[in-house]
Amino acid sequence: MAKNHVFAGLDVGGNEVKLVIIQQLDDKDDFQILSQNREVCSGIRRGVVINLQEVSDAIISCVKQAQEQSDKKVKSVYVNIDGSHIFLAASHGLVSVSRADQKISQEDINRVIHAAQTFSLPSNKEILDVFPKEFVVDGEKGIRDPLGMQGVRLEADVLAIGCLSPYSKNLTEAVLESGLQIDGVIVNPLASARAVLTDRERELGVAVLDIGSSTTGLAVFEEGNLIHAAILPLGSFNITKDIAILLRIDIDEAERIKVEFGSCVWRGSKKKEKIKSDFLSERLQVSKKNLIDIIEARVSEIFEQANKELKKVSRQGLLPSGVVLTGGGAKLPKIVELAKKEMKLPSRIGLPRDFVPPQEDSSLAAACGLALSGFDLEDVSSASGLGGIAAKIKKVFHPFIP
């Protein structure tokens, strides 16, 4: 059983650093949020640390708030890594089954994954995680969990996910500098996926799109396995910048207009209708349609880039459980409608699942997913989010030790 049942997820985001502390409710699969704290931080650009001290200070502030709010002392966290330096690599491993009775043991599975993980990488790259796609036992393909099967030769096809080491070092430095320890580092859209997707969606085929401020994370699953992931270098702050430039207004005003009046689809009848608000000065005559056209263009571009990624794995328009939108950027009204049109897939908003009371803030998906991943990794028996076999392997091989 997981120790203390309390887990902390630290989302080092481009807009804010967010810290969530969760607790498993007794004997249930549900969780409660003990504290959620955020601090605006400009020390991250497009997913990577550009000012270590600012990030560290923001984390310290979140930890302080969390302790005041929940009475829990946060010592260590699961943290996300983001940025377009994240890469994927398919690999293959092969081992001989070790036991005399030729029954495949957990140790054999760990060894074959380890073998698949050992491929040559430039010195500035590192593997963060490894996801088994399938196992092959004595030539028989398509095996999901070979534990206990009879065989002589065990092979594994895996998808490894890695990053540029200098970026991961800066991130871990920023966290360690704040006085926290790191339990694990998880790629951002995988953390969000853990929080918002159902096992059934993952089984049928689904993409999660975490629309943040300066990045959009994509993770694609099928038959329970991760099949693709990518970090797109644009997010909802690009919309704010577009609004500021095209309407020639201050960036803070642009952000406010986006949040208060924004939408992804224009439905009005009066094309010249102006936005009326106290904070807009008289000189600013902003047409609602104009605003929505700007937003629609940029959000469509995000979906277009996501589509290009789906095309790389031949899943464009071909995921039965569609695309699940999360992150702060998914709060724009009518974004689901636009996603359906542009991505030609079913779509829904993804909120962190399994929380009591229900969690309604999509921008907390990554932080909640990080804390939930902590639960999976430390309590292998439940391992709901990753699938039993993946979690078992991750528990043994989860490679990040700062």
Ligand X SMILES: Nc1ncnc2c1ncn2[C@@H]1O[C@H](COP(=O)(O)OP(=O)(O)OP(=O)(O)O)[C@@H](O)[C@H]1O
- Residue 11's φ and ψ, nearest 5 degrees, are -100, 105
- Our finding on whether 262 is near ligand X (CB under 6 A) is yes
398 lies in the binding site for ligand X (CB under 6 A) = no
Tell me which amino acid residue 386 is: L
Smallest distance from the beta carbon of 400 to ligand X, in angstroms? 19
CB atoms within 10 A of CB 393: 26
**82 touching ligand X, by CB under 6 A:** yes
- Residue 16: which of ligand X, Mg ion, none does it interact with, CB under 5 to 8 A by kind? ligand X
Q: By C-beta, is 13 or 205 nearer to Mg ion?
A: 13
- Tell me the two tokens of residue 34: 């003990």
Determine contact, residues 59/17, Cβ cutoff 8 Å. yes
Cα–Cα distance measured from residue 380 to residue 385, given in angstroms and rounded to the nearest whole number = 11
Residue number with CB closer to Mg ion (33 or 115): 33
CB atoms within 10 A of CB 137: 18
- Among residues 105 and 300, whose Cβ is nearest to ligand X? 300
In angstroms, give the least distance from the CB of 255 to ligand X. 6
Backbone angles phi, psi at 185, to 5 degrees: -115, 125
Tokens 């030539």 — which residue? 139
Interior angle at CA 392, CA 162 and CA 48, nearest 5: 25
Residue with tokens 């028996």: 381
CB nearer ligand X, residue 280 or residue 365: 365
The binding track of 337-366 with respect to ligand X, each residue x by CB under 6 A or -, is: --------------------------x---
Q: Which token pair is 322?
A: 């569609």
8 Å CB contact between 159 and 116 = no
Which listed residue (212, 262, 374, 385) binds Mg ion by CB under 5 A? Answer: 212
Segment interacting with ligand X (CB under 6 A) among 59-67, 256-264, 282-290, 309-317: 256-264
| C-beta closer to ligand X: residue 207 or 389 | 207
Select the span of 130-138, 269-277, 327-335, 337-345 touching ligand X (CB under 6 A): 327-335
Strand duo 347-349 + 125-137: pairing: unpaired
Q: How many positions of this chain bind Mg ion (CB under 5 A)?
A: 2
Contact between 13 and Mg ion by CB under 5 A: the answer reads yes
Q: Is 83 one of the binding residues for ligand X (CB under 6 A)? A: no
Closest to ligand X by CB, 157 or 361: 361
Query: With binding defined as CB under 5 A, does residue 93 bind Mg ion?
Result: no
Listed in sequence order, the residues at least 6 apart from 311 whose beta carbon sits closer than 8 Å to its beta carbon are none
**Cβ neighbours for 99, distance < 8 A, ≥ 6 positions apart:** 105, 108
Residues 100-159 that bind ligand X (CB under 6 A): none
Compose the 166-205 pattern: x for residues touching Mg ion by CB under 5 A, - for all others.
----------------------------------------
Beta strand 44-45 with 6-12 is unpaired
Q: Which stretch of DSSP H or E encloses residue 108?
A: helix 106-117
Strand partners, 208: 219, 324
The CA distance from 106 to 17, in Å, is: 37
Size of the site for ligand X (CB under 6 A): 25
Instruction: Decide whether 206 or 332 has the Cβ nearer to ligand X.
Output: 332
- Shortest reach from residue 191's CB to Mg ion, in Å: 9
- Site residues for Mg ion per CB under 5 A: 13, 212
- Site residues for ligand X per CB under 6 A: 11, 13-16, 47, 82, 212-215, 235-237, 240, 255, 258-259, 262, 327-329, 331-332, 363
